[in-house]
Amino acid sequence: MHKLTKRCPVCNSKMLGYTDITAGTVCEDVEQCTLCNYYYEYMYGHTTISVNQPLEEFRWSYNTPWEEAKPIQDAYQLAIRIARERRDASFNSV
């Protein structure tokens, strides 16, 4: 079942949210922006986020030590900021 849920952190449009079952695996939460290809997936304690899919992918899980997860999450935040700046620059150039 698809539903419009949260807003995309890159382009602020409503994202498509759903539970995905692929090859017997259940993804507990999937959110995807069809406008800018932002993708978020949470499955069994593991998080996968793609910004500018599939160019930049970030992964961590509930058992990833903080000293390893923190740099990944910082890089994710930087990728979001850069993607927003690219989007803003492309709007301003039109």
Residue pLDDT, tens place only, 23-55: 666 778 889 998 888 999 888 888 899 997 667
Q: What is the mean pLDDT of residues 64-76?
A: 94
Q: Give the C-alpha distances (Å, rounded to integers) separating 38 from 21, 35, 45, 63, 76.
A: 19, 8, 20, 24, 12
Number of domains the chain contains? 1
Residue-number span of the structural domain to which 27 is assigned:
3-92
Asked if 16 and 31 touch (Cβ cutoff 8 Å), the reply is yes
Name the DSSP letter for residue 49. E
Asked if 60 and 72 touch (Cβ cutoff 8 Å), the reply is yes
Whether 76 shows a pLDDT value over 80: the answer reads yes
Measured between alpha carbons, how far is 80 from 68 in angstroms, rounded to an integer? 19
pLDDT of residue 24: 65
Stated pTM of the model:
0.77
pLDDT of residue 86: 85
